[in-house]
Amino acid sequence: MTARPRPEQPQKPALDESFTPGAVPLRRVNRWLVEDLRQDLADLYVESCETEPGEGYRSHSREDFLNRLTGDVRRPGFAMVIAETDGLVGCAFGFPVRSDGFWWLGFDGELPRSIEQLTESDRVFAITNILVRPHPQEYDLARRLQERLLSDHQASLGTTLVDQADRPALAAFRAWGWQDIGEAWRPTGATMFRVLVLPLGERTVARLEGLAQHAWTRWPG
């Protein structure tokens, strides 16, 4: 998610202060077009994820982001939605969660049966990154990007992993209705992630009602 750039850093032209998130054009791009946007996406990542001096959370490097993007692009069903005004101002991307259960690897504890069933029926979509250029209404645009990405895939459940130290991102996802179902470790690193899900549609919301009832107890204080 996003945090403010450090004041001393030079910034690219900001979004017009009068813009409304709903007016920013969104469009889908395929994996081939992503290759042409790699450096712009890396610039957006650095700008959107930089933290203020003294904050506990630190984003990964530009190179780390490009490596993760390369891995995501190779996933079956990879998709990206971008937002543009005078240039690239936001993006969200991810891929469908396969029924082999790979996405849930490292989940601490027993995965809720309702989520297992949705995964087995190929109705879960993982959002691996949402990036927006810093702006007073950045979270509104980020929400619109995620909604477009999930609706395009007609997913019944969205899922994402958030570094537990990234409190601004956790707070934003919580405000958008995402539920924290536990934590997971990835074998490629030592970071512990919060595992978040977003039920879509009345039937899925009803199936996950029990998770929503206790979700608040899982959020870091």
CATH number of 26-218: 3.40.630.30
**Portion of the chain with pLDDT greater than 70, in percent:** 74
The predicted pLDDT at position 200 comes to 87
From 155-164, 194-203, 212-221, the region with the lowest mean pLDDT = 212-221
pLDDT digits (tens, 9 = 90+) for 20-41: 555 789 999 988 999 999 999 9
Is the Cα torsion angle 164, 169, 171, 174 positive or negative in sign? negative
Kind and range of the H or E run holding 202: helix 202-207
**Helices 167-175 and 138-152: angle between axes, nearest 10 degrees:** 60
Q: Does the global pTM surpass 0.75?
A: yes
| Pairwise CA distance, residues 166 & 97, whole Å | 23
Cα dist. 127→14, 23, 72, 103, 160 in Å?
25, 23, 10, 11, 5
DSSP labels, 107-125: BSSPPPHHHHHHHHTT-EE
Task: Specify burial of residue 146 (Cβ count, 10 A radius: 0-12, 13-18, 19+).
Answer: buried
pLDDT digits (tens, 9 = 90+) for 132-189: 988 878 889 999 999 999 999 989 999 999 998 888 889 989 999 899 999 998 776 6
Q: Are 60 and 128 in contact (CB under 8 A)?
A: no
HSE at residue 160, side-chain half, CA atoms within 13 A, is 26
The mean pLDDT value of the chain amounts to 80
